[in-house]
Amino acid sequence: MTIMAASPSSPSFQPVLERIAEEIEHTPGRGRAADYIPALAARDPRRFGMAVAELDGTVYGVGDWREPFSAQSITKVFTLALDLAREGDQLWEHVGREPSGNPFNSLVQLEYENGIPRNPFINAGALVVTDRLHTRTGDAAGELLDFLRAESGNPDLAFDEGVAASESAHGDRNAALAHFMASYGNVDNPVPVLLEQYFRQCSIAASCADLALATTFLARHGVRADGSRLLSRSQAKQVNAVMLTCGTYDAAGDFAYRVGLPGKSGVGGGIIAVVPGRCTLCVWSPGLDERGNSVAGVAALDRFTTLTGLSIF
């Protein structure tokens, strides 16, 4: 895989990214870092990085685009793809595909929907997907890390054990979700095992460049960087569709309205987005809005689609 370092002379996306970075630099009100995970709370909300990866592995970037950050819920996209590749439509018997309309860690819907989470990107749904991948691989988090290393071309990607420990120490809500779903028979593995896998999954540290590259299989309609097929074209469409409708928590409608791309955010401040057949993006800025999405990240993606005209609509 060839990775082209960003420079002012790089063609195509580089001038657009530089313009976006300049605009973001002068934007007031950048939100607040996630304070309910102590390991994330110290991040400066004014940090900003953005990368675009083309399908041949060329990457353009600005700002802190090489700075590793906690991927958090962005990893749910890759875990979903890895499990969907293994069990196909059977997965959807255990997790839905509808927007939740509630916060990402809500317990409310699980009770009246018999322990079936509304979608794979809220915490309950991601726990189910991780559980099912762990059953099939024996190490869901390790399978995910291997995939991200291969697709990004970065063998140094790793778990951040400090972040994982911080999440575990403050993970009572996730434990409640897992136990509740287990009571309905929708969890296979012991809850402590599942929680350890889930917290390690979310703790992976990666840069905008790493995550943009790792996401390109969705822009290539399911084909990995080495040319092998992970997902069928139909399955890649399914993942992109769920990203569009559910990928930014209970702000997915506003994100689709403003950005017009499938996307997935994480409370570490990152957002990935897909332009099918063309490129993928990752933006990072730790300051979040009240719904857990990066304020500068959403604004930057909004500007990207406006300036380039690249959108699924």
Does 191 appear as a known binding residue?
Answer: no
Catalytic hit among 59, 77, 223, 267: 267
Q: How far apart are CA 231 and CA 229, in angstroms?
A: 6
Catalytic hit among 52, 59, 73, 274: 73
Q: How far apart are CA 266 and CA 260, in angstroms?
A: 18
The question of whether 237 is a catalytic residue gets the answer no
The question of whether 60 is a catalytic residue gets the answer no
The question of whether 108 is a catalytic residue gets the answer no
The question of whether 166 is a catalytic residue gets the answer no
Q: How far apart are CA 217 and CA 280, in angstroms?
A: 9
The question of whether 129 is a catalytic residue gets the answer no
Q: How far apart are CA 195 and CA 254, in angstroms?
A: 31
Catalytic hit among 77, 198, 274, 283: 198
CB atoms within 10 A of CB 7: 8
Catalytic hit among 59, 70, 76, 203: 76
Q: How far apart are CA 158 and CA 200, in angstroms?
A: 10
Give how far Cα 157 sits from Cα of 39, 74, 110, 123, Å.
18, 15, 34, 23
Are the beta carbons of 221 and 276 closer than 8 angstroms? yes
Does 249 appear as a known binding residue?
Answer: yes
Does 257 appear as a known binding residue?
Answer: no
Does 73 appear as a known binding residue?
Answer: yes
Catalytic hit among 52, 128, 223, 249: 249
Does 183 appear as a known binding residue?
Answer: no
Annotated binding site for substrate: 73, 123, 167, 174, 198, 249, 267
Annotated binding site: 73, 123, 167, 174, 198, 249, 267
Q: Which residues are annotated as catalytic?
A: 73, 76, 198, 249, 267
